[in-house]
Structure 1
Amino acid sequence: MPLRRARRLPREASLDFWIGFIMTTTERKILKTERLFHRFIEWALFFITGAMTLVVLLGVLFRYVLKAPLPWSEELARYLMIWGASLGASIAYREGTHIAVTILVDKARGAAGKALTRIAQILIVVFMAIVMFQGFLLVSKLSGQTSPAMEIPMAWPYLAIPIGCLFILFEALVMIFLTSRRRAEEAS
């Protein structure tokens, strides 16, 4: 029995298939990474909020009931609040609940609105990259300084700034990738 040759697809169709397959696989990996990342931040925020609540309650209990204030409770609660706000900003950005001025995007329709949204996303990426870089510089400068009550390096509380910016930067890049992917699918 003679061997039959498989019917070959035109080169363009084959290339489109592989590009679509790779993009779909890449998109799945990005979405899975982003979901794990999001879950990690949510759990971190859960523990930060619980610890902050416990520290504040202990501070109040020791100060007003036992008349023996804990000198470190207010400082620790403040640092936990800073970390919670920095991590929570990336969740708010992802869910679209972070504070934003959207008057231009709301007024623009169609392609102009999409272009303004893309410009805003790119500006967010640039701004977060700059603040993250400057935040790491600040952390390195403050590595020798210690906090007054707990005597921990001040780099730890200040590290919340560049880490929070890194997380927002990641979310913004994922959002840019997914919106460009959706637009490419709509165009085809």
Structure 2
Amino acid sequence: MFVRNCFEVFDRCINWFLALLMAAMVVIIAAQVWYRFIHNDPLSWSEEAGRYLFVWISFVGAAAGVRYQVHLGIDLMDKLLPPNAYRYAIVVVNLIIQIFLLVIIYWGFKILGIIQFQESPSMNISMRYPYMAVPVGSILMLINSLRVMVAAIQNRTLDREVRI
């Protein structure tokens, strides 16, 4: 029960973080449109900030997609395979995904060490912050992939209802 409550808090934190990122991106892009077309004086940093927020939304959103199992899948396997075989297929697929994510996490942190002193052109922030979306999002995807795999092994399903 404690673990389930911790994961519920984990899911809500990811969902709120995504909501805040989306709100920030909408406000920044709206401000860019306002300043460009109404004031005829575009903001120099807004396009870059919107791009970096979009990268973060993509990776953290992918982690949420793994949790709620909304990524593209092959429904045919579910219909053709018996339930036990389908559960094993879920486990094998998630193991392959986890190996891939471990590689991405490793190289994502390696790249962070390489680009840590590079600055973004408009915002003058370290490029470490935009690039950090790759390993952070991959870690979140790995955690959620492990949750899906454990649920399949235990022959239970994760709740697919999104809660904020």
TM-score range, shorter chain: 0.7 to 0.9
State percent identity of aligned pairs: 27
Corresponding position of 1:130? 103
- Give the AA of the match of 1:142: I
Q: Which has the larger radius of gyration?
A: 1
- Structure 2 unaligned runs (5+)? 157-164
Please give the secondary structure, in 2, of the residue aligned with 1:182: coil
Query: For the residues of structure 1 that align with 2:95 and 2:52, how far apart are their CA atoms?
Result: 30
Q: 1:67 aligns with which of 17, 30, 40?
A: 40
Change (3 A) 1:164 1:106: farther
- Contact conserved, 1:105 with 1:117, CA < 8 A, in 2? no
Query: For the residues of structure 2 that align with 1:106 and 1:127, how far apart are their CA atoms?
Result: 27
Kindly indicate whether residue 51 of structure 2 is the aligned counterpart of residue 84 of structure 1. no
TM-score by structure 2 length? 0.88
Query: For the residues of structure 2 that align with 1:146 and 1:100, how far apart are their CA atoms?
Result: 39
Kindly indicate whether residue 133 of structure 2 is the aligned counterpart of residue 167 of structure 1. no
- Structure 1 unaligned runs (5+)? 1-27, 184-188
CA deviations over 1:118-158 (Å, ceiling 9, x no partner): 10011111111111111111111110111110011111001
Change (3 A) 1:75 1:106: farther
Query: For the residues of structure 2 that align with 1:176 and 1:29, how far apart are their CA atoms?
Result: 19
Q: Count the aligned residue pairs.
A: 156
Q: 2:83 aligns with which of 110, 113, 124?
A: 110
- Give the AA of the match of 2:111: L
Matches within 5 A, 1:15-26: none
Change (3 A) 1:104 1:182: closer
Please give the secondary structure, in 2, of the residue aligned with 1:46: helix
Corresponding position of 2:24? 51
CA deviations over 1:100-121 (Å, ceiling 9, x no partner): 3455454322332222111001
Corresponding position of 1:4? none
Query: For the residues of structure 1 that align with 2:113 and 2:76, how far apart are their CA atoms?
Result: 38
- Give the AA of the match of 2:94: Q
CA RMSD across the alignment: 1.6
